[in-house]
Structure 1
C-alpha cells in the first residue's frame, strides 16, 4: 500500500546520482539562469522578453512544443484599439474589467494589462499572428460579453492557436532553448528563496534536477478539476498554483471559478465532447439562446445585454432554466446562429462549423445544444504585477497561474491579453535580476533527492485505487459541492469528501512505470487534492455572492466582503486570511462613473 508522496517545503540538488537515507537514485542535472515552467502564451512571452534582454532561459512544458492550452482559446483577445468604436480607450477597458470582476480585482494588474494591450496587439500582428481585418485594412474587432465596445481582436475562432503560433515562431527565431514532455513535481525552496525545481522526463522516465536562481511559473489554472470542463484532462489541474503554495507563496481568490455558459452537452455529443467549449464568439456574432420551449429566455434575465451579459449571469440563467424544467432532455439549452448568412458563419466561426459538421450538425441550419462548463480559474498565486514576484525570492508567476486581473469573474477576451501584457513586464523585471548565479545549497540538493525517492516509491505503488478513478471522483465532488450554486452545507460536505479521497490515496495502484499515464495522473492527484481543499475552504470563508461565486445561503453582494481571500500553507494545514482591495486610479474611476455599457441591439 503506497501513499502519494508527502507535499513538503522546498529545496534543491545536483549531480548524476543522489544517495538517500537507504537508497540512491540517478538523475540528470540541468543548469539555467531562468527556468520558465509552462510553454503556453504567458511562458513564451516571458521567455521572448528575457532573450531580447540577453538572458537565455530554459522553457519546459508537459507536452510537445507548441501544444499548450493557449490553443483552446478561440474567440479573441482584447485591446482598446477603437477600430470600429473610436470612443473606446484603455480606461474604459479597465472599467469594464473591474466591473465584471465585481471590484475585487487588483487595480494595478488591470491597469497594466489594459494600458499595455494596444502595443501588444500590434506586436503580435508584426510577428505574424494574422489578425482578421476590416475592409479598409484595420484590425477587426467583435463584441464579447459585458464589454462596452467592440474591442475583441480575433483570427476567426482560432485566435489562441494563431497567437501561440506567432509566439513560438518568435521564440524559435531567438533560438530560445525548450524542453518538452517534462513535468515539475516540486520547487526547491526553503520557504524564503527558490533554487530550482525537481521533476521527471515523461518520455524517458528519467528524473531531472533543474538548478536555477529564478523560476517563472506559467503553468495554467485549475478548472479541469471539475468533471465538466473545457480543458483537456491533463491540463489546468492546479499544479502551478500548488507548486508556488508549497514553496512559500500565497494563493488568492481560489473560490472564483468561471463557468462558461456554453459547453457541449455530453448526452447529445458523447463523452469525448462533454464540456468542450462553444466559443463566446458564437454569441459575439449574434448567436441566440433558447430553452426547450423555444423561448429566448435571456429576455427575462438581461433584456438589455441579452446573450452578451457577463458569463456568470448567462451561466446562472441557463442553470435556472434547466432546474425549472425548461431545459433539453440532455440538461442543456439551444444556441442558434442559423439566422446569420451561411458564408458569414463559415467565415467568422470556421472551427465551430467544422467541429459540429463532423458530429452531424450544420450550425448554419440548426442549433447547438449547450450547458455551462468549468472554464477558467480567476484565482491563483498572489503576485506583484509590476514584477511578477511572489514573495519568495527568485520565484515569479504569470498567466492563469496567478490571481488579480480578473477578480470575481473574467471578462471574455482578457485571458489571452493578460498573458502577453503581464508576460512582457515580468520578463523585463526578471532579466534585470539575473546575475552570475549561485551554487546550489546542500539543503536544496537534499530536498530534490528526497523528492526523487518519493516519486520512485509512487511508481511502485501496488494498491487498489487507480489515480484516474480518484481524479474522476474529485471532479464529481467539486461539480456537486462547489459548482455554479453553493451553500455552507454543500461546501462542508465537499471538504469531507476530499478528505475521504485523500485517505484512499494510501491504497493507490500505479501501472505502466514513470512514462505511463497512471503515474502522471498520480502526480496530478497530489496537486489537485490540495487545490480542491483550498477552493472549498475559500468558498466557505466568503459569506456573500459575488461574480462567479454564488452562495444560495448568502445570495447578495456584501460590501464588507470587498476583500481578497488568501491561502497559505501553515505548519498544520492550510491557513486563510483576508485583505482589502486598493482603489483604481483617478482616470479609471472616471471611466467607471461614466457608466459605459454594451448596446447589444447593434447585433440585431
Structure 2
C-alpha cells in the first residue's frame, strides 16, 4: 500500500510494514521456481486481467471477458463458490411486470433515486434499471431456477420502498442460487481460478497499476501477479461493526483500502445501511448474532411488534408499514428499544404466523430451516430481531460504463464501489448491480486489452515495492506483543457501533476518531500467532485495511452535517438541499482529504416517473 504522509493515517494503514527495508535489491523475476529476497518466498503469476473477488460481481465480469475471448484470473479468499453473494436471500430487482404490468425500468430507477435520497449517480441507476430485465433472462438461460407464477412467468414479490412487485426470487435463497448459476457458467467457460488467496497490496505509482501482491492462505506462499488490468470486486465494509450480517472474515474494507492506497478515490463512505431485522438474543447464540433475517419475511407479510404487543410501524409509517425504507424501519426499531418497549434481548418481534404455514414453508424455506435448527418454528411463533450493519453504499468512485477508477488499469465493481445506491440502498438492488454493471465492466476491460497485456511488464521499482511487501509480511509473523488482531478488530467494531451507528452526532464521531487513534497506538504491542496460514495472520492483515476505511468513514460522517438516508445525525436531524452532494475521499499530502461534488440529474424518462410519485401500496398484503 502506498506510503501516506499523515503519520496517524500511516499507522492505521501500514503499521505492520513499518519494519520493511527500503533498499531491496531490484530484479525482475519470471514464473517458475519460488523466489525470495529475505522475506516471504513467492512465485510470479502472469495474467492479462486479475479479478479480486469471486462473488457475483467478479463472476459476471469474468464471464463477459471469457465470452470475449479473454482468459482472466479470478481469485477469492474462500473456496470457489463460497462468497458473500450467497447471503443475499430475498431477491433481485428487475422491472419485468410479471404481476404488475405497469412497472418499467424508469419507475425502478425512480424508486432507486427516492430510496437513495437523490445522491445516486444518475448514469449508474439508469444503466442498472435498463440492464436488469435482460440480465434476468440471461440468468434463466444459464439455469437459474426462479420461482414461477401459475402462468409460468418469473414470480416477483414486494420489497421495501418499491412501487411494484419487482423482486425476482428463488424462495429465500436467491443469492445462493444466483452465485451457483454464475459459477456454473464460469466453469463452463473454463475461466482460471485460484481460491484461498488474499491480496495485500496493489503495485501502483498512483497513476497506473502493474500488478498485485498477496499470499496463498493455505500454503503461506507469496504471490506476485503481473498484470496491467486489475478489477476489484471484493465487497464492502459492513463487517467492521460488531453487529453485522456478514461473516467476520469478509466485507472488511479490503477493496476500498487497496483502491485508496493505489491512488483511487472513495465516495459516500458515511452511508452504512443498518438492516432492520438481524437475529438477536441468547436463544439463538452468539454465532447467529446479527445474521440477517431476510426482507422477504416482511415482503411476504411479516409484521413487527414491540414487547407490549403493539404493531409499532403504524406510528412511524402508516402507509408503508413494515415495508418502508430500511433506514426508516431500523430507526423505528432502535427507538422502540431505546424507549424500553423492546424485548429483554434488546429487539422486537417479527411475526409471520398469521400466514398459512405451508405458504411460509414454500416461500421462506431457508428461514424455516434455520430457525427450526434453533428450536423456533416461525410458522407458530415470532422471531426476535434488531438492526444489524448490513451494506455499505459508499466505496470506490468509478465510471459506471467502464469501471475505471482514474488509476490506469484499475477497475472496480459491486459493493466495492459507490454510486448506484446513494444514501440508502433499495432492497433487491445489490444483486442487480453485480450483474448489470459487471457485464458492462467486463465488456470494457475486454475492449481495452492489447497484445502487450499477454506478457505485462513489472518495473524495477514495482518489483522492489513487491519485495518490500513480502519482507513486511514476513516480519508481521514475528510480532510477539500482548494484543491480538482479533481483539483489536472487536474493539474497532464496538467503537464504530457506539460512535458511528444508526444514530450519530458531532461529539460521538469526534470521540470515535480519538479512540481510533488510541486503538492504533496499541498495534505496537500486536501479537500474531502461528504463520501465514493462520487466522491470526489473516486478521492482522485485515486490521490494517479496516483501520484505513474506518477513519475515512468517521471523517465523512463528521463532515456531513445533515441527516439523509442511512446517515442520521441527531444534532442535524433535517435533510438540507445544500447537502445534495457526494463526499469524495482521497489521499493528499497531509493524509485523508474530503471534498464535495455535485450530483447529476436523471434523464427525462426517470424525471417523469419521479414526478408521477409512484409509491408502494402496502395494503395489498393485508
Match of 2:9 in 1: none
SS at 2:282's partner residue?
helix
The answer as to 2:291 corresponding to 1:279 is no
Do the aligned residues in 2 keep the contact of 1:100 with 1:408 (CA within 8 Å)? yes
Q: Tell me the CA shift for residue 25 of structure 1.
A: 4.4
Match of 1:446 in 2: 464
Match of 1:549 in 2: 567
Match of 1:508 in 2: 526
Q: Tell me the CA shift for residue 191 of structure 1.
A: 0.3
Aligned-partner Cα distance in 1 for 2:196–2:540: 16
The answer as to 2:591 corresponding to 1:573 is yes
SS at 1:269's partner residue?
coil
**Structure 2, gaps ≥5 residues long:** 1-13
Deviations 1:563-604 (A, max 9, x none): 000111123311111100000001100000000000000000
- Taking a change above 3 Å as real, the CA distance of residues 600 and 261 of structure 1, as seen in their structure-2 partners, is same
- Taking a change above 3 Å as real, the CA distance of residues 331 and 212 of structure 1, as seen in their structure-2 partners, is same
The answer as to 2:547 corresponding to 1:529 is yes
Which of 135, 150, 168 is the equivalent residue of 2:165?
150
- Taking a change above 3 Å as real, the CA distance of residues 290 and 446 of structure 1, as seen in their structure-2 partners, is same
Aligned-partner Cα distance in 2 for 1:343–1:329: 30
SS at 1:267's partner residue?
coil
Do the aligned residues in 1 keep the contact of 2:39 with 2:474 (CA within 8 Å)? no
Aligned CA RMSD, in angstroms, stands at: 1.5
Do the aligned residues in 1 keep the contact of 2:40 with 2:473 (CA within 8 Å)? no
- Taking a change above 3 Å as real, the CA distance of residues 529 and 180 of structure 1, as seen in their structure-2 partners, is same
Aligned-partner Cα distance in 1 for 2:177–2:19: 37
Q: Tell me the CA shift for residue 267 of structure 1.
A: 3.0
Aligned-partner Cα distance in 1 for 2:249–2:35: 30
Q: Tell me the CA shift for residue 442 of structure 1.
A: 1.1
- Taking a change above 3 Å as real, the CA distance of residues 355 and 201 of structure 1, as seen in their structure-2 partners, is same
Do the aligned residues in 1 keep the contact of 2:40 with 2:221 (CA within 8 Å)? no
The answer as to 2:303 corresponding to 1:291 is no
Do the aligned residues in 2 keep the contact of 1:12 with 1:444 (CA within 8 Å)? no
Aligned-partner Cα distance in 2 for 1:190–1:565: 24
Match of 1:499 in 2: 517
The answer as to 2:149 corresponding to 1:134 is yes
Which of 301, 309, 324 is the equivalent residue of 1:309?
324
Do the aligned residues in 2 keep the contact of 1:12 with 1:440 (CA within 8 Å)? no
Deviations 1:176-221 (A, max 9, x none): 0000000000000000000110000000000000011100000000
Do the aligned residues in 1 keep the contact of 2:42 with 2:221 (CA within 8 Å)? yes
Do the aligned residues in 2 keep the contact of 1:240 with 1:401 (CA within 8 Å)? yes
Which of 50, 58, 82 is the equivalent residue of 1:67?
82
Aligned-partner Cα distance in 1 for 2:186–2:372: 35
Do the aligned residues in 2 keep the contact of 1:544 with 1:558 (CA within 8 Å)? yes
Do the aligned residues in 2 keep the contact of 1:337 with 1:367 (CA within 8 Å)? yes
Deviations 1:66-118 (A, max 9, x none): 00000000000000000000000000000000000000000000000000000
Do the aligned residues in 1 keep the contact of 2:485 with 2:526 (CA within 8 Å)? yes
Do the aligned residues in 2 keep the contact of 1:12 with 1:197 (CA within 8 Å)? no
Q: Tell me the CA shift for residue 270 of structure 1.
A: 1.3
Match of 2:273 in 1: 258
Structure-to-structure mapping, 1:151-190, within 5 angstroms: 151-190=166-205
Do the aligned residues in 2 keep the contact of 1:266 with 1:275 (CA within 8 Å)? no
The answer as to 2:130 corresponding to 1:112 is no
Do the aligned residues in 2 keep the contact of 1:108 with 1:584 (CA within 8 Å)? yes
The answer as to 2:444 corresponding to 1:432 is no
Q: How many residue pairs align between the two structures?
A: 600
Q: TM-score, normalised by structure 2?
A: 0.95
Do the aligned residues in 2 keep the contact of 1:248 with 1:569 (CA within 8 Å)? yes
The answer as to 2:211 corresponding to 1:193 is no
Aligned-partner Cα distance in 2 for 1:433–1:67: 30
Q: TM-score, normalised by structure 1?
A: 0.98
SS at 2:355's partner residue?
coil
Match of 1:540 in 2: 558
Structure-to-structure mapping, 1:95-494, within 5 angstroms: 95-436=110-451, 437=453, 438-494=456-512
Do the aligned residues in 1 keep the contact of 2:239 with 2:250 (CA within 8 Å)? yes
SS at 1:576's partner residue?
strand
Match of 1:40 in 2: 55
Match of 2:17 in 1: 5
Match of 2:64 in 1: 49
Q: Tell me the CA shift for residue 174 of structure 1.
A: 0.3
Aligned-partner Cα distance in 1 for 2:28–2:344: 56
Do the aligned residues in 2 keep the contact of 1:79 with 1:121 (CA within 8 Å)? yes
